[in-house]
Amino acid sequence: MANERKRGRGPLRLGVLGVLLIGCLLLTAIVGALALGDDDDTTPDAGNMIVYGLTLNPSGFDPHIHQSSELGIPFYSLYDTLVYRHPQTMEFVPGLAERWEMAEDGLSWTFNLKQNVRFHDGTAFNAAAVAANLDRIMDPDLGSQKARVLLDAYTGYEIVDPYTITLRLSQPYAPLLDVLSQVYLGIASPAALQANTNNSYQWHQVGTGPYKLDEFVPGSFIRLVRNEEYDWGPVFYAPVTDGSLDTIEFRFYIDPATRSLALESGELQVVGELLPTDAELLAGNVEVTVYQVPVPGTPQQFFFNTRHAPLDNVTVRQALIYGTNRTEIIDAVYQGRSPIAHGPLTSTVLHYDPEVEAMYPFDLDQARALLASQGLQDLDNNGILEFEGEPLELTMVFSSWNQMPDVAQLIQSQWRELGIDVELIQVPDFPSLRQRVRDDDYDVIAFYDFSVEPSLLNRFYLSGAVNNWSGLSDPQLDQTLYEAMRQTDPAARATLYSAAQQRIMEQAVVLPIREYVNLVGVSSDLDGVVFSAQGWWPLLRNFQYSG
């Protein structure tokens, strides 16, 4: 017995707990080694530095290829565009192009480019560079998701001389300048494009902008450093001062609840898309300032599926819009920090028509009356209207972004007052959302996008458009939208877009909820916090430490 015991104890002479202790110490040592090795991400001499929080990790960061507006947050300042929109006046101002001119027939635009502009890698900017970029975007092998789609009527270019380039169009195309002012058409160094494959370029981007890419570790951080040679910026870019930023590090803060915590702990200096309740909380904190930045485009909205009865009846749809108390929704979910949306475009979009604001005031009685007028009644007195003998139930589909689930739940309660049951379906991601569209498995669905240019409407309201999820097919509206895209006279465009917005609301295919407002938390010792005309993208050039 005693022998057995001694043999059994062999290597475990220290006792079980002893072994465990050693094991743990070993583990700690390994962990320590690993963790310390992680230290190669430190910046040597950062100067004036901020950490900027990105709120989602988009599928890709190449502006020519990918479509997420998030990528513009770092990269808008890495590139210059041919033209810029002035963030206050919304007018087009020179960027890489000093002047431009549209031909009489509207089928071509000629751009005179700035000289003495250099890319971050030292190569020269010229017409050939612009041409190389356009070639790249239009190359089917690139698989451009947005830039190419935006270029639409563009057919080709002609290099007139080293600093002049003409762009040709298949038809007059009013949105061209707006397209050229977006980060997706940022001009990249042809040398850098050549040195990388289509897919590897995004980790090694080279532009002409006020900041250049220092390091990009996918999923971890993006570091930009100031371009000392930059002096060809648009007129609204501020001059460099002692407080200007030398280094900007972007990290990914996907969980909304911890964004404000990171701001307060000082780990972050800027982060957008704060939760409205957090914004309320931070209002009392002197170390953080909350900016409310409107983002133009469509409002946060729901489309009605006009292919499904009873939503094929315009009066029923109108009733639903009358019966939705948007003020209540905005106060509760967004803490009142957004304007109500009344039409298919937000008030900061070009050619917004304020007439839509009077079209559907919140009116429960009107809503009920309209529904009754269409034969929808509660015959069995259970509180739900009957439609074709069945209780009326609508399926509402949405994803989890921007507090839409809370909005949906409130609408469910509100429409219950009208006698309509709503089934809420939250989908976890965009492909799932799109699948429901393909399966035509929804009555009401949430979808929206952003742009300063009202031609955004085409994507949602043209008959047969890819993102026309309401199923609207209105030849008159189609005509108007096509015309408006071709028309280059602003006054004429304004009239056409007014007609379009009113027509869309008359057809009641969309339920606008609120205008998107980005709640950006910024450390209070930062000044010059300005965002581009497109709303999402910070003008990092202008940010500076005060005092």
Token reading at 15: 């006792």
Contact region with other proteins (CB under 8 A), list: 25-33, 105-113, 371-379, 474-482:
25-33
Residue 454 Cβ, how far from other proteins at the closest point, in Å? 15
As beta bridge partners, residue 247 has: 49, 225
Residue 314 Cβ, how far from other proteins at the closest point, in Å? 26
Among 48, 60, 124, 366, which residue interacts with other proteins (rule: CB under 8 A)?
60
Q: Which is nearer to other proteins, 5 or 389 (CB)?
A: 5
Residue 9 Cβ, how far from other proteins at the closest point, in Å? 8
Alpha-carbon separation of residue 127 from 110, 123, 134, 312, 451 (angstroms): 11, 13, 11, 52, 27
Q: Binding of other proteins at residue 524 (CB under 8 A)?
A: no
Residues 148, 186: contact at Cβ < 8 Å? no
- Cis omega (within 30 of 0) on the bond before 310? yes
Residue 175 Cβ, how far from other proteins at the closest point, in Å? 13
Among 214, 215, 357, 406, which residue interacts with other proteins (rule: CB under 8 A)?
406
Determine how β-strand 211-217 pairs with β-strand 221-226: antiparallel
Residue 455 Cβ, how far from other proteins at the closest point, in Å? 11
What is the residue whose two structure tokens read 């700035």? 114
Which residue from 347, 323, 532, 335 is spatially nearest to 417, judged by alpha carbons?
Answer: 323
Q: Binding of other proteins at residue 466 (CB under 8 A)?
A: yes
Residues 384, 391: contact at Cβ < 8 Å? yes
Q: Binding of other proteins at residue 427 (CB under 8 A)?
A: yes
Element housing 304 (H / E): strand 300-304
Q: Binding of other proteins at residue 286 (CB under 8 A)?
A: no
- Residues 125-144: x where in contact with other proteins by CB under 8 A, - otherwise, as a string: ---------------xx-x-
> Residues for the chain: how many in total?
547
Residue 145 Cβ, how far from other proteins at the closest point, in Å? 5
What single letter denotes the amino acid at residue 453? E
Using CB under 8 A as the binding criterion, the count of chain residues that bind other proteins stands at: 102
Q: Which is nearer to other proteins, 292 or 432 (CB)?
A: 432
- Residues 331-370: x where in contact with other proteins by CB under 8 A, - otherwise, as a string: xxx-------------------------------------
What is the residue whose two structure tokens read 């909380």? 281
Q: Binding of other proteins at residue 424 (CB under 8 A)?
A: yes
Q: Binding of other proteins at residue 405 (CB under 8 A)?
A: yes
Contact region with other proteins (CB under 8 A), list: 1-9, 341-349, 351-359, 380-388:
1-9
**Phi, psi for 326 (deg, rounded to 5):** -70, -30
Q: Which is nearer to other proteins, 135 or 441 (CB)?
A: 441
Q: Which is nearer to other proteins, 51 or 165 (CB)?
A: 51
Contacts by residues 15-20 (CB-CB < 8 Å, ≥ 24 positions apart): none
Among 426, 488, 495, 502, which residue interacts with other proteins (rule: CB under 8 A)?
426
Residue 391 Cβ, how far from other proteins at the closest point, in Å? 17
Q: Which is nearer to other proteins, 288 or 540 (CB)?
A: 288
Among 158, 161, 449, 489, which residue interacts with other proteins (rule: CB under 8 A)?
449
- Residues 311-330: x where in contact with other proteins by CB under 8 A, - otherwise, as a string: -----------------xx-
d(CA 322, CA 364): 7
Alpha-carbon separation of residue 318 from 127, 187, 313 (angstroms): 52, 46, 9
**Phi, psi for 182 (deg, rounded to 5):** -95, 155
Residue 464 Cβ, how far from other proteins at the closest point, in Å? 10
Contact region with other proteins (CB under 8 A), list: 5-13, 156-164, 291-299, 353-361:
5-13
As beta bridge partners, residue 517 has: 294
Among 22, 47, 59, 354, which residue interacts with other proteins (rule: CB under 8 A)?
59
Strands annotated E in 473-534: 510-514, 517-523, 526-527
Q: Binding to other proteins (CB under 8 A): which residues in 32-51? A: 32, 34-39, 41-42, 51
Q: Binding of other proteins at residue 3 (CB under 8 A)?
A: no
> CA 280, 283, 288, 290 torsion: positive or negative?
positive
Residue 275 Cβ, how far from other proteins at the closest point, in Å? 5
- Residues 65-104: x where in contact with other proteins by CB under 8 A, - otherwise, as a string: -xx-------------------------------------
Please state, as a whole number, how many other Cβ atoms lie within 10 Å of the Cβ of residue 149: 13
Among 48, 110, 123, 198, which residue interacts with other proteins (rule: CB under 8 A)?
198
Element housing 259 (H / E): helix 259-264
Residue 521 Cβ, how far from other proteins at the closest point, in Å? 13
156 CB-near residues (< 8 Å, 6+ apart): 167, 168
Structure letter (DSSP) for residue 59: S
Sequential DSSP letters for 376-429: -B-TT-SSS-EETTEE-EEEEEEESGGGHHHHHHHHHHHHHHHT-EEEEEEESS
Residues 297, 450: contact at Cβ < 8 Å? yes
d(CA 393, CA 410): 16
483 CB-near residues (< 8 Å, 6+ apart): 496
Among 22, 93, 103, 149, which residue interacts with other proteins (rule: CB under 8 A)?
149
Residue 179 Cβ, how far from other proteins at the closest point, in Å? 13
Token reading at 338: 């957004």
Token reading at 521: 């938390």
Among 168, 337, 434, 486, which residue interacts with other proteins (rule: CB under 8 A)?
434
Among 156, 172, 243, 256, which residue interacts with other proteins (rule: CB under 8 A)?
256
Among 114, 146, 212, 342, which residue interacts with other proteins (rule: CB under 8 A)?
146
Q: Which is nearer to other proteins, 176 or 410 (CB)?
A: 410
**Phi, psi for 352 (deg, rounded to 5):** -65, 140
Among 112, 166, 315, 409, which residue interacts with other proteins (rule: CB under 8 A)?
409
Q: Binding to other proteins (CB under 8 A): which residues in 467-496? A: 467
